[in-house]
Amino acid sequence: MRKHFAKTMLMILVMLTVLFASAFSAAAESNVYEVSTDVELSTALQNIADSADTKATIVLKADLNAPVTGGGSYTTTFGVDGKQITIKSDEGGMKKLSFPWYGILNGNCTFDNVDVTGTRLFCNGYDTIFTGNGQIHLSETLYGGGYKTTVNKTHVVIAASGYINPSSSSGLHDVIGGSYQGNVVGDTYLEITGDIKMQGGNHLNPGCMKGDGSSGDGRDVPDVYVGGNATLIYDNKNSTAASPAIEGTYGCEMRGDVTLDVRAGSVAGIVGTEEPVDKSIIRGNLHIIAGNPAYENTDQVLRLGSNWPIIGAGNSFALYPGAVGNYTVGGNITIDTYENAWAWDKGTTPDSYDLPEIYGALRGNVGGNITINAHGSHVQNIFGASDSVVQGSVTVNATDVELKNSEYNTEYDEGYIFGLWERGVPATANGPVTVTVNGGDVGLVMATDQTTVPAGSSINVTGKPKIRSGIRGTQASSYSTEFPVANVYACEATIPFIKGMSQVNITNNSAVTAHIMTSNAGLMVEEGSTLTTDNGQVWIWGDTVINGTWEQLHSQTDNYNDIFVNGTTQIGSNGHLINHGTSNLSGAVTNNGVMALMGSAYLQNDYTATNGELRLPTIAPGANYDTGTIPVQIKGLSTGTTTVNTVDPADWQTLKKPNLGDNYILSKKNTDAPAQDVFVLGNADAVADAWFLKRMPDADGSNDYYMWQVANGIRVIFDKNGGDTEASPSVMIQDKVVGVVNHFALPTVEPTRTEYDFVNWNTKQDGTGDIFTAATDVTENMTVYAQWKSNAKGDLKVSNTVSGSAGDTTKPFTFTVTVDSSINGTYGEMTFTAGSATFTLRHGESLTAVGLPADTAYTVAESDNEGYTVTANGAAGTISKDGTAVAAFTNNREAPSTQPPTTSAPENPAGPTKPEPTTTSKPTATPQPTVTPQPTAVQDTVPQTGDTTPLLLWVVLLVVSALGLAGCLWVRFRKKQFRK
């Protein structure tokens, strides 16, 4: 009975499984239609339309034609509205689906491993995908939108290979993302990534078209538009058999943003707006991407054909004779180009003087900003805006670009980067123009070729660029503070010229050579940076600030000066101004660094210095002023302190001893100013001979100037004696007049030494001589030495302990601390007067002096301690740096001793009484040693390894098991016998 029930349940389960599998199989197969004839294809489409399912697959078992639209319209249709159909070929190979006449899709379609053929194909606003394992062969145009109708949106992806409109006889359009003689209410999306051959020069765009491009087509057709955003992605693997003209719009109003993402292939230009000017309008932003960072330095090249440019607003025909008006982009224009964008064949030398260029706008009206980011691209020139009106700013960022044509490195070399360029009509912008060059190989860099530029404009140079021509702010012939700023930062470069800038800033450890610098309003060289000029006079019409190094190598005497600064000149503490030629500094001069003036220098205003240095060439024999020219003439007043070092006329870095009687400086006289020590001779060999610069009357006999002449005198050297910095001045020399005792003022800046304070000057190095002051008589050359006192600190703790049986713990004991330094004031818990502090301590009390000068000797004395024995530890010693000295006092006092009276012992003392013996009880049994109790073990329920089991138990179990096995075998044997 039980066996019968089990068999019945098993049969039921098998039947249910088969039924469910059949149901699922039928459901799956109901969405897949295998068709071998055109009739079967039409039937399948009707069944899909009637089905409630939203997805279906049609498998082509033969080459078929799409159904012909009824009514004699000469169109074919395919697809079902509201359904997603995937069309595949069977395993017998790729099948062909043909669209005779015009093909129109009526639903979303994915053509997978199918060869789609026909003339024109209208995707009609449905999502359409041609997969990479399929093909497409259309003799005319593919439209993402409708045929003479408006659609809501378009979405077309062509990853297949083949051709679309391969010959010029097929019309002017290749692939259009929108509708033909219709509109797109929302967005358009067109992506071409397959190997597609197209007719070169024909149009490829994500907009709508009024006509097909043939003559007369589109006349009297209403204007067309795309209401949303439009996107075109072009990454054609067939870079030689296709060269379409790519544009954002060709007669269509684009009401949203437009993106042209052109990654690889060959194109006849990329422009935002093609003609006509009044119809091709982009209301939103325009973003052009030429090349792709993933393809940089690979064979995936974007080849810009002939001289067809990349243009944001406008096109190549905008400047043709008869062309009028500007092309409108209402928002911002951004153009990003990458290294794989080439205007000539990669790996070759340009063979034309007319190659593709990049324009943010060419005859454009731009409502926002223009930004061009060129990353390593290879074109002829880059222009932010030409003959255009820009409401916002213009920015060109060129990183490692290569700008050249066939006239590279000739007198006709171009390689231009212009922010604004005028080809016929001035280009204007309301916002600043910014041009940045980071590395690369470029020609002329200008903010504008016009005479004015918007406020806040700049040219920035960084990296290691090759600049073949130079950088220039504007085309104006004179300087202006409204010119752009030139920022040269973190840069190593040789720049032929820097002109027409309101300010030139050399920063971030730059090392720059500029052959020519003229018509610039200001100059700043940051500390750590160097500027070298070597091929012309430098005229700075504004202020000059040198915190780094500026060396002018150019030297001539025929025409004006080698350096002219109309504003102020400031040399920072680490700054170096080295002029191998003549100098004319019109404004005030502040010199806190080094000025090496190897030619005559004319300072027309005041001169001031804080530890400044002048390096002047030694005077040639027979050329001493006033026969020759004074090396430095200062028309204003001179103040501060300047060390004058004379150098070899051929090398500003090599000091050379001057000659006695040589005249070096003239400075305007104002009663007794400037003072004698405003200019101090610095040459060590001359100073060792007690030579100095003596203030004298002007050698020409006039009374307007003081003159500084090399003279012999008496000298005091202020030796820092182990210090870290020198005194300033460290050497003083005065004229020695017979019968007059000389006195020297002390240096205005004392030397410094880490962890020490300057004390005074002494005539001996160890401080055992006389203190040198401004009142010290100086009768001969001498050296005085800085004296130092450590400013390190330490502490001193004094404690008191009272001990003994008679010690009074309430008694105050008086302590006096004396140090060998005349300090005054409160130091922690002690107050010192003239190096001494007195206080009282009771038992257990202590006081600590904090911040005493290190290396100071101290003593601690106690009083008011009569009757006490005093023990003192550390009562004298030295304060150690960052340590604490301890003086611990113990005052002990004991009470007088009182002895008890002595008692005499008897002569015969009685012995102890002998006790009576008692009986000791004995134990009845021998006692056993006590067993130490062990802790009670808790019974472990887990069997323990090593537990012992009686052997008998194992034997019993073995016998029982053997009997059981024998019994089983006997029963089985009896059953077999029974069956027999």
pLDDT digits (tens, 9 = 90+) for 36-94: 999 999 999 999 999 999 999 999 999 999 999 875 568 999 999 999 999 999 998 99
Contacts of 742 by beta carbon, 8 Å cutoff, 6+ apart: 714, 734, 736, 777, 778, 779
Q: Is residue 424 part of a domain?
A: yes
132 touches 157 (CB < 8 A): no
**Domain final residue pick, 399, 431, 463:** 431
Could you tell me how far CA 908 lies from the centroid of its own chain? 114
Amino acid 974: pLDDT: 52
- Does residue 803 lie within any of the structural domains? yes
Mean pLDDT of 369-384: 98
The answer to whether residue 335 sits within a structural domain is yes
The pLDDT tens digits of the residues spanning 513-545 come to: 999 999 899 999 999 999 999 999 999 999 999
Domain boundary among 862, 892, 922: 892
Tokens, residue 650: 């051929």
Angle, alpha carbons 294-296-301 (nearest 5°): 100
- Report whether pLDDT(28) > 60: no
In a domain, 274, yes or no: yes
Tokens 């600590």 belong to residue = 848
d(CA 370, CA 392): 7
Q: State the residue range of the domain holding 810.
A: 793-892
The verdict on residue 197 lying in a domain is: no
Helix (H, G, I), strand (E, B) or coil at 562: coil
Spell out the residues 6+ positions from residue 348 whose beta carbon is closer than 8 angstroms to its own.
none
Separation CA 293–CA 189 (nearest Å):
22
Q: Is the peptide bond before 917 cis (omega within 30 degrees of 0)?
A: no
Per-residue pLDDT, 478: 83
Per-residue model confidence (pLDDT) at position 968? 52
Q: Which residue shows structure tokens 């470069």?
A: 493
Question: Would you say residue 711 lies in a domain?
Answer: no
**pLDDT (tens digit, 9 = 90+) per residue, 30-41?**
699 999 999 999
How many domains does one find in the chain? 2
Residue 844 included in any domain: yes
**Spatial separation of the C-alpha atoms in residues 827 and 832, rounded to whole Å:** 7
CATH number of the domain encompassing residue 810:
2.60.40.1140
Read off the amino acid at residue 177: G
What residue ranges in 331-432 does DSSP mark as E strands? 333-337, 341-342, 358-362, 364-366, 370-375, 378-379, 382-386, 389-390, 394-399, 402-403, 417-421, 428-429
Residues 6+ apart with CB under 8 A from 973: none
| Predicted local distance difference test score (pLDDT) of residue 964 | 57
Last residue of a domain, one of 371, 396, 431: 431
- What are the CB-based long-range contacts (under 8 Å, 24+) for 757-766? 757/788, 757/789, 757/790, 757/791, 758/723, 758/786, 758/787, 758/788, 759/786, 759/787, 759/788, 759/789, 760/787, 761/718, 761/785, 761/786, 761/787, 762/787, 765/719, 765/721
Is 419 inside any structural domain?
yes
**Cα gap 99→59, rounded to integer Å:** 17
Mean pLDDT value across residues 722-745: 89
Token digits for 548?
A: 């780094």
Averaged over 949-953, what is the pLDDT? 46
Q: How many CB atoms lie within 10 A of CB 353?
A: 14
Nearest to 439 by CA among 374, 497, 395: 374
**Phi, psi (degrees; rounded to nearest 5) at 93:** 125, 170
Place of tokens 């259309």: 138
Q: What percent of the chain has pLDDT over 90?
A: 79
Whole-angstrom Cα distance, residue 562 to residue 582? 5
Evaluate if residue 152 carries a pLDDT over 70. Answer: yes
Looking at the DSSP assignment, which residues form a beta bridge with residue 617?
647
